[in-house]
Chains A and B, each alone.
Chain A
Amino acid sequence: MENLQCQCGHVNPPGTKLCESCGRSLTEKDQNSKLVDMRYEGTARRSQTYNKSIIDKIWNFFSSVKVGVSIIVVLLVAAAIGTILPQQAFVPATTETAIQEYYADTYGSIGRVYHFLGFHDLYSSYWFIALVGMLAISLVIASLDRFVPLYKSLKNQRVLRHPSFMDKQRIYAEGPGAEDTLQKAETKLKELKYNVRTDKNGLLAEKGRFSRWGPYVNHIGLIIFLFGVMLRMIPGFYIDESLWLREGETRAIPEVPGYYLESKNFELENYSGEGEEEVFGEALDRVGTVAKNYQTDVVLYQKPEDALPGADDSQEVVKEFPIRVNQPLKFDGYAIYQMDYRLDELKAMTFALTNKETEESLGELTIDLIDPEDIYELESGSTVELLGYYPDFSGFEDGEPQTATPLPNNPGFLVELTTPETPEGETSFITIQNTVEPLGENDYKLAFQSVETRDVSGLTVRKDSTLPILGLGGLIFMIGVAQGMYFNHRRFWIQQKADGTILLAGHTNKNWFGLKKDLDQVVEHASLPAYTDQQDEIDKAEKAEKEGEALS
């Protein structure tokens, strides 16, 4: 394509609609239209100019508003589909097959189809992420396609424009003027906080140009936000671990080297409906119990880097803190949240070694259910040897006891009992409900005495270094939106011809009402000729024509 030379001599890049220098219309269509199209100042947008190579086609595709809106609508519909049934993260199943079964069992054929189509994990599906990616590309390309030429054009604005540019502006006036008209107009416009530039017999007054950058600024904010979200995939930026911590236990914090956490106490408090909470009585009667507080009192320790492994005495207390919902423990860029809990987990069980016949006890032993000992020696000289420990006994398989989980939900013990009377030893398998004696009837048994329990806190360990980036993106977006929506770009061009005639044109990107209010003041002060809103004239003419048709 060739450059376009205007009558004024200025050479414009191909695709320009209004001469960059004098504002004359360069295409026949624009020359014949009553009003000039001022969007993007009539500059050459790449997408409107080239359409040959594959790159042109891609560029044009993504710079189109229609395509952008279509992507938004498709994303919107897809997001809605993802809420028809719960996403897999919210269903009580963890393995791939269990999840599939859950959808089929709970939701029948709808669930089966939903799962088959991958909608159970819609928001992490490749096509959904691809859609978000397309939106990002569209944001970048559509913005560049418009911003670059607009910026250039507004930066290089000439004061004097060709009369054919002026009389095709929506606000236009032509009429006689006095000698000091221009000066008076200039003073008034400056008073109204316009930037005024003059050149020979004309002036250009401008206000709020920065509002034109609003859309591009808010798009930059969105891009920064999406970039921040993408960064989380890079190792080190983002940590999400869970930590189950029992009362009294100290554990290394996963993925947080050098730090340890001890739980002193877990507390679950419900509303009582009494005293100060009496106002809640009615509500509590209706819904039952309502939790008031979940809290884990923790101590955070740090082990210096040069400490010897296993040397516990070098731990320093960093902080004592009650972690509650909405009040995470924060340290060194990490945060630990109260997310879940298990009340009354079994901690230790106490048994008495008892003679079955006489009911005589040979002493007691307490088995720690997290860290049991191999052999317990009683004062009487008897021993209890723990041959096998099954914290969550789930039955036998090939004669072997099995454990479902490592948590002490249903502990089972395979023990050998040795007493002075039975030095050979007797084998017994003990669970909470019953005792099995696999090798024949025994003389002794372990009689259950008592159990100790404690609470377990479900904590989440989190680090998210992308948060400042996301915050910045959000802030820039809001600034851009305010900049573009609540301010507007107003301009007036005024020229005085040699015979004293004044030409006046005005333009704003929005809020014509505000522009006219400004202009009214200038017209009055500088006795400018009365202006017309040419758009209104056109609308009126069209309306009259329509009514005319309706009558005939």
Chain B
Amino acid sequence: MNLADLSSNLLYVAFIAYLIATFVFGGAVKGNKEGTFKSEKRWGRVAITITVIGFIANLGYFFTRWGATGHAPLSNMFEFTTAFGMTLVGGFIILYILYKTPVLGMIVLPVALLIIAFASMFPSEVSPLIPALQTNWLAIHVSTVVIAEGILAISAAAGLIYLLKVVDLTKRSKQRFWLEAIMYSLVLVLGFVVVSTFFSATGYEAEFTYVDKEGADAAITYSMPPIFGMNEYVALTEDAMTPLIETPALVHAGKLTTVLWSVIVGTVLYWLIRLVFRKRIAALLKPFVKNVNLQLMDEIGYRAIIIGFPVFTLGALIFAMIWAQIAWSRFWGWDPKEVWALITWLFYAAYLHLRLGKGWQGEKSAWLAVIGFVIIMFNLVAVNLIIAGLHSYA
């Protein structure tokens, strides 16, 4: 077994450990019927042990891959997103040591699993570095960013738990709607994973030529049945499904197809869950947060941000600027990724001012933490895949 294979096997081990730990954390929280926290403590200890084992395997994945590729494995969509899942768990372990809250693990671990599964949908072969990335700043800048984002995401998890407990699901309200919207979007990610895995397992491929927005000829390979066709497409694969709608050159029909498939499958999954349990997903989780100490969740959310914010500033702005000055001759160039890093930073700055200056604690703070996570995910997913720029490496 070579280093690269060992690396991917370790990632599997981590994935499975997180999966098991999720259920043990869930059991620890649910089993605590009397609210005495005795059994919760015992099962919590089992669950965190499994999590730590998974995390060690995850670190093993990271460093063996580093050895295999010869560079920090943070250079493309698969590597960065996987690392994000890992730092999310790392951030959780730190906060678990500080606050001993199994319920946090029950929310963070499935999200980390989703993120790692999402990452695995991108090409994961060992790829070489372009000249701009051949420097130690790759490891310094990107690892700081991914650690910061992992910690900041914990604050969103704490916020989500806070909201699950305080939002009244029996009455129609904006809060109830948006809380369920968060759950729904998590299921959509699952939909993406399911549909991608299905079509890649069945080996679906359809090739087309098309005319791109600059008027040049180009080719594309769909890995899912094309719902949308590229501008002036011509099918090269014989038995491929004929696209239902042809999009203008501006729209990337291939990506849009992937999005629509994910939405379709995700929505079906969501309604299946609703039909089977006859409850909102938020309501399904409600019993788990019954014993949650709200003040503690608020504190965890805040603590995660005051740890994550300075690390983010250092990694995503300061180190980023130093490297940009060395590689691109200017420390700042309004590249979309740079702009979204600034937006993320401004957002958390606003959070801190509202919390410390305007007394926005509790529920308001929790909503803001969740929005912060949405911004981070937008920067990770949409800015890489939709908005083209210097950082589009995937």
Contact = CB atoms under 8 A, between A and B. Distances in A.
Interface of A: 65-66, 68-69, 72-73, 75-76, 79-80, 82-84, 86-87, 89-90, 92, 106-108, 123, 240, 271, 277, 279-280, 282-284, 286-287, 290-294, 324-326, 328, 335, 337, 339, 460, 462, 464, 467, 470, 474, 477-478, 481-482, 485-486
Interface in B337-382: 339-340, 342-343, 346-347, 349-350, 353-354, 357-358
Interface in B120-135: 123, 125-128, 130-132, 134-135
Given A108-B248, A462-B330, A83 B383 contact: yes
B350 A72 contact: yes
Interface stretch (B15-23, B101-109, B309-317): B309-317
Given A279-B69, A324-B131, A478 B318 contact: yes
A292 B128 contact: yes
11 contacts: A65-B357, A271-B128, A280-B126, A325-B131, A325-B327, A326-B134, A326-B326, A339-B328, A460-B329, A467-B331, A470-B321
Given A69-B350, A76-B350, A89-B334, A290 B389 contact: no
A478 B310 contact: yes
B218 interface: no
A293 B358 CA distance: 52
Given A83-B339, A89-B334, A283-B123, A326 B69 contact: no
B388 A86 contact: yes
A106 to B, nearest CB: 5
B237 interface: no
Given A76-B346, A290-B130, A83 B353 contact: no
B310 A80 contact: no
Interface of B: 4, 68-69, 123, 125-128, 130-132, 134-135, 137, 213-214, 248, 250, 306, 309-310, 313-314, 317-318, 321, 325-331, 333-334, 336, 339-340, 342-343, 346-347, 349-350, 353-354, 357-358, 383, 387-389
B389 A90 contact: yes
Nearest to A85: B387
A12 B386 CA distance: 60
Given A68-B353, A292-B131, A76 B343 contact: yes
Given A326-B327, A470-B331, A79 B350 contact: no
A277 B42 CA distance: 50
Given A90-B389, A291-B130, A324-B131, A76 B347 contact: yes
Kindly name the residue among A80, A84, A477, A482 whose own CB sees the greatest number of chain B CB atoms within 10 A: A80
Contacts, number: 127
Given A280-B128, A485-B306, A72 B353 contact: yes
Contacts of B317: 474
Interface of A is mostly: helix
A284 B128 contact: yes
B147 to A, nearest CB: 16
Given A107-B250, A279-B4, A282-B125, A325 B358 contact: no
Contacts of A467: 325, 331
Nearest to B306: A485
A282 B353 contact: no
A462 B327 CA distance: 12
The 10 closest A-B pairs by CB, nearest first: A65-B357, A283-B127, A325-B131, A282-B125, A337-B329, A280-B128, A83-B336, A76-B346, A326-B135, A271-B128
B68 A325 contact: no
Contacts of B333: 89
Nearest to A486: B306
Given A283-B126, A294-B131, A328-B329, 12 more contacts: A65-B353, A68-B353, A69-B358, A83-B340, A92-B214, A277-B128, A279-B69, A286-B125, A290-B128, A326-B134, A467-B325, A481-B309
Nearest to B305: A485
